[in-house]
Amino acid sequence: MGVRRGGRWLLRPVTFGVPEGVVGVAGPPGVGKSTLLATFATLRRPHTGALHILGHDTAHAAGVRAARARIGYLPGRLSRKQNMTAGEFVSYAAYYQRAGASAARDVIARLDLAEAAGTELSLLPPDVRLRAGVAAACVHSPDLVLLDDPFAELCAPGAGAEAGGGAAAMAELIPVLRSLAPTVVVTADAAGTLTGWCDLLLGLSRGRLTELPARSAARVPADRAAGRRVPHPRDARAPAAVREPGRRRAARPVLAQLTRFRMPRAPAGSGAGV
């Protein structure tokens, strides 16, 4: 798959896969992380190649609809709708995803938003507003969650002065993000923001993906403690390598293994997320 914008490659044609777990993508601003995530969310088409999501070929309309029903997408710069409370925002997302009011109540309780449900989004501290955005993106219990730079506002200068802001809020949110879905893809400008808690960390620079040290020694115990499914060895495929057309030698392998997704198919919905 290859992704272009404005006449330049944001992702040069490459073959790769995304396994279960938390996958981080780091790169400086403007490198193309948001465009890549929007492509994964089926909001943009790849410039070349093929994109398969959870077994669905997104080259066809039916495949796009089926994939979108199982994707939760939170774009960067979450809009602060005037006069819309956190509860109304999540309820609207549930209606949009045909998830029902009970699903909205459940995810509000799960993300500890009950006390903030009646407060306008624009008045919430950054960490609580992020929880509201995550709740809206995951109200339909997706199998794949895409989070575009969720910690940007928390890492901004002066964020630590707000209630719940800064590093302490990030430490509380990381276990929540890890438990959202079998596969979570999260981006950040700095690799340090993702190091230590992602199962796989990739760097995006000049249109190329490279594997970075994740330094997550307690990967499997952390997954088990969170009650998440640990891939079984018999579900693993052969190691995948990043390959660029026209190159004689394969680049460094990006993934240690690919995992087959065996979750049941959900009814096709009408949207890709919030």
**pLDDT at position 6:** 85
**Confidence band for 264, pLDDT divided at 50, 70 and 90:** very low
What's the rounded mean pLDDT across residues 29-37? 94
Write down the H helix ranges in the chain. Answer: 33-40, 61-68, 86-96, 101-110, 126-137, 152-155, 166-178, 191-194, 219-225
- What would the pLDDT profile of 157-202 be if each residue is shown by its tens digit? 655 444 444 788 888 999 999 999 999 999 999 999 999 999 999 9
For residue 63, the Cα-to-chain-centroid distance in whole angstroms is 19
The answer to whether 102 and 66 are in contact (CB under 8 A) is: no
Q: pLDDT-based confidence at 223, cuts 50/70/90?
A: very low
pLDDT at 133: 94
In whole angstroms, give the CA distance from residue 95 to residue 208: 38
211: its two tokens: 């594997």
Helix pair angle (86-96, 101-110), 10° resolution: 130
Do residues 33 and 23 make contact, with C-beta atoms less than 8 angstroms apart?
A: no
Pairing type for strands 144-147 and 71-74 reads parallel
Among the ranges 22-26, 154-158, 170-174, which has the highest mean pLDDT value? 22-26
pLDDT at 255 over 50: no
108 phi and psi, to 5 degrees?
A: -65, -40
The predicted pLDDT at position 158 comes to 58
Least confident of 19-23, 42-46, 145-149, 155-159: 155-159
pLDDT of residue 75: 92
